Amino acid sequence: MDELIDIVDENGNYTGKTCLKSEAHKHGYFHPTIHVWLYTSDQQILLQKRALTKKVFPGLWDISVAGHIAAGEDIKIAATREVKEEIGFNILPENLSKISTRKHMVKHPNGIIDNEFHHVFISELTIPFKELKLQKEEVAALKLFPLETILHTKNYKNLLLPQYQDYYSFVYKQILTAIA
């Protein structure tokens, strides 16, 4: 779905300009996004399998929830909205712990230029797994993995992206601290 998003500069500062997501991806404009990593108290991590219709990384086991922030939308509100839309979990903004903002730049073979600032959150999954509801257009499947799985992505086929292992290790440590 094409949506209106804010444009930020190469340092993540809002420019006051907006454009459609498709235009940002065509021209490589920087824009804000959210990543939400959901974990359980018994050290499991919820991952989603991206729908096969996705333009980038179709069928990849990925972050619990990720998405774009609409133009003018509060970052935490965007995170709660995306969690509700993609997996049917009503999470309160105060239950999200922001752990970083991550600059991400990648050119995909299909021409999409993803220049994004990921606002990264962690939160505990506080409802039973079976109550989650997939947004079929975005999510093919959900699965709980042992938390340490994200430290060993090279050992699994189609699980996260091994080139971002430093990021996953950081998330792992933050979750362990939150559980403790």
pTM above 0.85, yes or no: yes
| Mean pLDDT per 10-residue section of the chain, whose length is 180 residues | 94 97 97 98 97 92 96 98 97 97 95 97 97 95 96 86 92 96
Which residues make Cβ contacts (< 8 Å) with residue 24, sequence separation at least 6?
A: 5, 7, 30, 31, 115
* Alpha-carbon span 53 to 56, nearest angstrom: 9
Tokens of 96: 């999200």
The CATH number of whichever domain residue 106 belongs to comes to 3.90.79.10
Q: Name the residue range of residue 103's domain.
A: 4-179
Task: Report the pLDDT value the prediction gives residue 79, as an integer from 0 to 100.
Answer: 98
Of residues 65, 59, 61, 77, the one with CA closest to residue 39: 65
The pLDDT score that the predictor gives to residue 2 is 87
Q: What is the model's pLDDT at position 157?
A: 81
Mean pLDDT of the chain: 95
- pLDDT tens string 36-87: 999 999 999 999 999 999 989 999 999 999 999 999 999 999 999 999 999 9
Total count of domains within the chain: 1
